[in-house]
Amino acid sequence: MPVKLLVALILLALNILVDLSIVADAVTASTAIYVRIALGLFLVAGLIRGSEAARTLALVVAGLNLLGGTLILFQYGSALSTAAALFGVKIYFMIATPFVFGGYLLWCMNQEDVKTWLYKRAYGKHGADE
């Protein structure tokens, strides 16, 4: 397994843990959190299996993270000095995390060694012939 894919899997696992902590802390968690947890688990399992569909889903997740980061930036960007006073460093982390995670996932899933490893993992010795 390429190291960059391992790092992406660790980041996905951390994302799932954050979502699980939200469920554990909340009295009533929204359905969206449960869907994010389920999709994250399917994504991790699919990438470990070597599924091309999981790689495509990872690219979609990366794009959605970049879009979400942009929306957060538009929401808090104009009042960043005020928001920083209210939230402290957490607001900068909240803005930067989707960009870093989405950008890394997008970059990682487009690397040739990751694509090759996923293909060989999915098709076994048949994938090694081509």
Taking only the tens place, the pLDDT of each residue in 36-86 is 889 889 999 999 988 888 899 999 989 998 998 898 888 877 776 666 666
The token pair that represents 5 in the structure block: 């894919």
pTM, to two decimals: 0.77
128 occurs within a structural domain: no
Burial of 86 per CB tally in 10 Å (0-12, 13-18, 19+):
exposed
Alpha carbon distances (Å) from 95 to 41, 55, 63, 87 = 24, 25, 15, 12
Give 80-124 pLDDT, tens digit per residue.
666 666 666 777 777 888 899 899 999 999 999 988 888 888 887
Q: How far is it, in rounded angstroms, from Cα 40 to Cα 61?
A: 9
Position 8 in a domain: yes
- Whether 127 maps to a domain, the answer reads no
**Which amino acid does the sequence have at 53?**
A
129 occurs within a structural domain = no
In a domain, 49, yes or no: yes
Number of domains the chain contains: 1
In a domain, 72, yes or no: yes
Residue 130 placed within a domain: no
pLDDT of residue 4: 92
Range of the domain at 117: 3-122
Asked, for residue 109, whether it belongs to a domain, the answer is yes
Distance CA 58, CA 16 (A): 14
